Amino acid sequence: MKNIILIILLLFSAYSYAQTKDSIIGPWQLKSVAVKNGKTHTGMKVVFIFDKNNVLKTARSVSNEIVVVGKWKIDKNNKTLIMESTIDKDFNGKSKILVLNSSKLSYKKDGEVLNFEKAKMKKHDNTPIPKLLFTKDDFYNENEYAYPEDENKLPWNFAQIYLNMKNVKEIIYNIDHFKPKRGKVGSWINSYKVKFFNDDGNKSLSIREYSYFKKDYVDMTENKYPLNEQTKKIKEFYPRTKPYLFRIIGEEVYKTSFGVLKCTVVETIDNFDKKIKYWMINDKPGVFAKIIVVQDEGNPFDYTNVYIIKDIK
């Protein structure tokens, strides 16, 4: 009889563990965090995904790219969730499970209570990934650069950019983010914010990329460009970095919500052989109607970003 009772207890324990483990599998969106000072933070969108085979994943939101960050397991005896990761402390360490059912998950970690709700990841957008089919070799005739005169054909010099930006505070772009074999995995808004400086009579301009998602600048420091006799006549891609290889492939008319824009279209090879295609607005120096950035080196970090102009303020 004792043996039968022991077997039943073991089976019940295994069933209970399996049920607990199955309950946590899937995506969970963080809804609130109760911190040590008694305050509760809300408005988060990040998703923790406790996948099968104890793989831990995350995403910025239910519609963004999923990345693997570590491993997870549950200690049923101590009602503890154990995460292992070298990416970030939020995905590493032991947490006391307070609530776990089919729709709610709460655990206490480092003195803070994190509250999640079961989520459903949105299907990836089927928008085709834009392709840039040119290669580095296309810029050369045998061993010689084939487009030495194209710099003189660029539509802007720095003096023109400086003058045009006098009427601009911010250039806003929608950015679509694509990953190979997965399509569009995210979209966000960035802008280029404009500032002028006059330090002891030395004029300069800063056009600095800003992330609305991070609520911070993408560039770590002010990107000042001086206006003087040497710089004002230089043909420029500013505020983008001037690529080391480029060629003009023609002009296109680009339609936007605020007008029809005549653009010079330029194909470039930038640092690390990154391919970029620019639509430079002819009569708005310093403003791009569209930018396609492609990293296709055949590694896990490959991506395509498409900037589309949204507004000029």
pTM over 0.75: no
Residue at which a domain ends, from 89, 118, 147: 118
Look-up: residue for tokens 């990841």?
A: 121
Phi, psi of 98 (to 5 degrees): -100, -40
Q: Could you tell me if residue 19 is inside a domain? A: no
Phi, psi of 156 (to 5 degrees): -125, 145
Q: Are the CB atoms for 176 and 127 separated by under 8 Å?
A: yes
In the prediction, which pLDDT does 130 show?
A: 94
| Closest C-alpha among 278, 276, 274 to residue 286 | 278
Q: In sequence order, which residues have a C-beta less than 8 Å from that of residue 64 and are 6 or more positions away? A: 185, 186
Q: In sequence order, which residues have a C-beta less than 8 Å from that of residue 185 and are 6 or more positions away? A: 64, 65, 124, 125, 177, 178, 179
Q: Domain span at residue 71? A: 25-118
Q: Are the CB atoms for 55 and 68 separated by under 8 Å?
A: yes
Phi, psi of 312 (to 5 degrees): -125, 120
Q: Could you tell me if residue 10 is inside a domain? A: no
Q: Could you tell me if residue 65 is inside a domain? A: yes
Do residues 112 and 181 both lie within one domain? Answer: no
Look-up: residue for tokens 């006391």?
A: 96
Q: Could you tell me if residue 130 is inside a domain? A: no
Do residues 161 and 295 both lie within one domain? Answer: yes
Report residue 178 CA to chain centroid gap. 10
Q: Could you tell me if residue 13 is inside a domain? A: no
For residue 157, give the amino acid letter: N
Q: Could you tell me if residue 209 is inside a domain? A: yes
137: exposed, middle or buried (Cβ count in 10 Å: 0-12, 13-18, 19+):
exposed
171: exposed, middle or buried (Cβ count in 10 Å: 0-12, 13-18, 19+):
buried
Do residues 143 and 110 both lie within one domain? Answer: no
CB atoms within 10 A of CB 114: 21
Do residues 178 and 246 both lie within one domain? Answer: yes
pLDDT beneath 50, residues of the chain: 5-19
Do residues 255 and 157 both lie within one domain? Answer: yes
Q: Are the CB atoms for 89 and 70 separated by under 8 Å?
A: no
Give the integer Cα–Cα distance in Å for 106 and 95: 10
Do residues 113 and 257 both lie within one domain? Answer: no
